[in-house]
Structure formats: structure tokens, C-alpha cells
Homo-oligomer: A and B are copies of this chain.
């Protein structure tokens, strides 16, 4: 367990619910669990705190943030502002090679039958990222990456992905088609609808079964 991978591992374990929302993490517990000293644990915690994947609980202790409908809605609203911007700025630099790579990802999602909700979520994000990366906007990409990590914590609900997976996947194909035809405005409109729809599905689900 090296330093960078401890950060990755801890992040993954938070996503996967090993350290559930609302739980308080302490350095000793984590250092025993991961079989390292507290120093690399501190480094990882510090980074996760700065990314808001952990929040202060009291004066000195860190907590896995609770999942709330209000915050989910906020995260999707922010995505709704930034992702269209990313797509617009990426568009002039989009190549057929890149669109082809994006298409490959969609094929992989279709072919791999038994994907976990997490795996499908990761591939979906890679698809979006493939398009946005052409924007060459380091800060925007960093923010979107961070937002996506936040959102990922909310996507453990099987019900949501089952309901939405097909619609979402189809929209990805449509998005690709519009971009191939250079119909940027239509692509952006579809993307906005895509994000809004996903956000509404999630928040309505959270309001029904809070956490």
C-alpha cells in the first residue's frame, strides 16, 4: 500500500460504503486497517478533505459526508452549468479519432453483460470525459472530475441505474451522432437534458428514501 494508492483505495472504499456516509474516520483505525503508519493516512485524509470527499465533524475529526437530496441537486446544477461549457470548448478540437474512442467505450458498456453499477458509472464518466478532454481546459476538467467523484457516492442505488441505464445509454449514442454531424447546439441541448434528467431521477429517489 503505497501513498498514492492509499488515497485511491480510501476513496474507493468510501464510494463502496466500507466507511459509510456519516461515519467518523480516525487515523489510528485507518492505519491499522490499511497496515500503514498514520503519516500516509494523514496525507490521504488531507487530500480527501480538500476535495470535500471528507468533511470536518467537530473541531478535529473527519466524517464521510451524509448523502442529501439537497446537495445532490446542487451538484447536478453545477454540472449543468459546467459540462455544456466543456463540450462547447472541446468541440472545435474534437477529432473523428476521439469520437471513435468514445464509441468504443459505448460498445464496451453494451458488451460487458455483468457490469456493476459502479463499473457502468465509471465507463459512462469516461465517455463524457473523452469528449471534454479535447477542451484542453485543465481547471474545468479538474472541477468536473471532482464533481463526478462527489456524485459517484450517490450512485450506489441499483434502482436508479436499472431504471435509467437504457435511456442514458441511448442518449450517449445520440450525442455522439450529433457531434459527428457538427450539430453543436443540438448536442449541448441534449447534454443538458441528459444531466437534468439524471439529477431529477436521483433527487426524487433520495427524497423518497432519505439515505
- Seen from chain A, the residues whose Cβ lies within 8 Å of a Cβ on chain B are 39, 42-43, 46-47, 49-52, 71, 74-75, 77-78, 81-82, 85, 137-140, 142-143, 147, 150
Contact = CB atoms under 8 A, between A and B. Distances in A.
A49 B47 contact: yes
Contacts of A139: 52, 71, 74-75, 78, 147, 150
Max count, chain B CB within 10 A of own CB: residue among A47, A137, A147: A137
In the complex this chain forms, how many copies of it are found?
2
Given A77-B85, A82-B82, 6 more contacts: A46-B47, A52-B139, A71-B138, A78-B140, A81-B85, A143-B143
B43 A74 contact: no
The 7 closest A-B pairs by CB, nearest first: A50-B50, A46-B46, A81-B81, A47-B50, A74-B137, A74-B139, A43-B46
